[in-house]
Amino acid sequence: MARKIPAGGICAVNPKTKALFEARARIIKAMAHPTRLFIVHELSQGERCVWELHEKIEADMSTVSKHLAILRSAGIISDEKRGNQVFYTLRVPCVMNFFSCVESVLKTSATDTIDLVG
């Protein structure tokens, strides 16, 4: 008999395993927005000042700041204040491996769709 997963939760697992999955979900959720993915991509090229990001994103500063705060709180980026400017960097550059994985999923899905209709 199949084990039923409780609504809104995962199967009963030990607390340490559950905490690990919840931590992973927080990181993935933090990146789950096109603007935040763009920010991560930009920071993979090197350190950026908040004004550089603001100009490239073409959104008001409060919106850019909110996106940066979400990424910082998830531990994906770090900031350093120098004078009256704030500079951002990726804390863990291997996060870009996630992009490669996502692109593989996109390619596989596209191939499957082409095979289905082709």
Q: For domain 15-92, give the CATH number.
A: 1.10.10.10
Q: pLDDT for 44-53, tens place per residue?
A: 999 999 999 9
Residue 40 has pLDDT above 80, yes or no: yes
DSSP code string of the chain: -PPPPPTTS--S--HHHHHHHHHHHHHHHHT-SHHHHHHHHHHHTS-EEHHHHHHHHTS-HHHHHHHHHHHHHTTSEEEEEETTEEEEEES-GGGHHHHHHHHHHHHHHHHHHHHHH-
* pTM (2 d.p.): 0.81
Confidence category of residue 113, pLDDT binned at 50, 70, 90: confident
Q: pLDDT for 49-65, tens place per residue?
A: 999 999 999 899 999 99
* Domain range list for the chain: 15-92
